[in-house]
Amino acid sequence: MINRIQELMQQVETLQACTLEEVEGLRIKFLSKKGIITELFNEFRSVPKEEKAQIGQALNCLRQAAESKINGMREALAESGAAAKSADVADLTRTPDPIGLGTRHPLSLVREQIIDIFSRVGFTVAEGPEVEDDNHVYSLLNFAPEHPARDMQDTFFIEKEIGVQKPSDILLRSHTSSVQTRVMLSQQPPIRVLCPGRVYRNEAISARAHCFFHQVEGLYIDKNVSFADLREVLLYFAKEMFGPETQIRLRPSYFPFTEPSAEMDISCDLCGGKGCSFCKGTGWVEILGCGMVDPNVLESCGIDSKVYTGYAFGLGVERITNLKYRVKDLRLFSENDVRFLQQFEGC
């Protein structure tokens, strides 16, 4: 694979385009979901463990080089087109007021930053459908039939026939763990995936809760994976996201699909862990849940729990965005208030 990456790097360095359409064609060829580089990232899952560091670094360099080259060509062609237009007659169809540049949504900014951090340690992105079935969302994840999360008060179930009140196993996913089950069912370890996406829960909308939000969940399964591995990767994430002085602590918790389970706090960066109103005087702020994958989950997905172990973690993108940008009302993320979004133009 390393020879293929080097050949593609040479191709990328010599890319040329005369029009914006040609630039877009190159972007689709190399960087789209079915592009050459994306396919290489998919093949990366099967790379031997001892080669992952070298090949992963080379893949990231290739993707960055392709993005830089294509963006540079696009900007150069756009500037030349603007210069040519300035010499023409004034465009009477333009609005009298200048149209301001848009900006990326804060949730998108944080989501991409989370993915970038974990991709540096070998995680690849996996995606799945938002409309799911009970088996992938609950049963395969060790949820008992009477578990309260299955109740209509928490989960949005979809009726099979309009106007017919019948129990249904079709629902809007309440967590992106359903993507993890699909990955475990379709491939054998080693597995190291990151599952970002939108999820839905039947909750009252308020400043602290919403009926839909965004998650990023991670799963790593291989031989001899330990809780110490989980702690180190989460400590690395916390320091990269919130700063090198950030400390973490893990508190015992319960999740049906992990055992043992824990919730992770980070030291409050406002008070340095001394205690303030933001951290409610504790010096710590909760950001995610995690744990070792329950052997029942591995066995239900066709993975031998006597040979393989793994860890999983899940965090809310809105939660991380709140901590990073001090946004106190979750509703601002979905109201499309231009005044709110303009605050992120420089991000």
Ordered by start, the domain boundaries in the chain are 2-86, 106-344
Average pLDDT over residues 258-283: 83
On the question of pLDDT at 64 being above 90, the answer is no
Average pLDDT over residues 293-314: 96
Average pLDDT over residues 263-275: 82
Q: Positive or negative CA dihedral for 229, 192, 319, 257? A: negative
* Greater pLDDT, 87 or 293: 293
Give the pLDDT of residue 82. Answer: 53
- State the pLDDT confidence band at 96, using cuts at 50, 70 and 90: confident
* Greater pLDDT, 250 or 346: 250
- State the pLDDT confidence band at 166, using cuts at 50, 70 and 90: low
On the question of pLDDT at 129 being above 60, the answer is yes
Average pLDDT over residues 96-114: 83
- State the pLDDT confidence band at 162, using cuts at 50, 70 and 90: low
b/e map 105-141, b = 16+ CB within 10 Å: ebbebbbebbeebbbebbbbbbebeeebbbebbbbbb
Average pLDDT over residues 313-330: 88
On the question of pLDDT at 167 being above 70, the answer is no
What's the CATH fold of domain 106-344?
A: BirA Bifunctional Protein; domain 2 (3.30.930)
Per the prediction, the chain carries an average pLDDT of: 86
Average pLDDT over residues 188-200: 95
* Greater pLDDT, 177 or 77: 177
On the question of pLDDT at 163 being above 80, the answer is no
Give the pLDDT of residue 177. Answer: 94
Average pLDDT over residues 192-200: 95
Average pLDDT over residues 223-241: 96
On the question of pLDDT at 327 being above 60, the answer is yes
Percent pLDDT > 90 in the chain is: 43
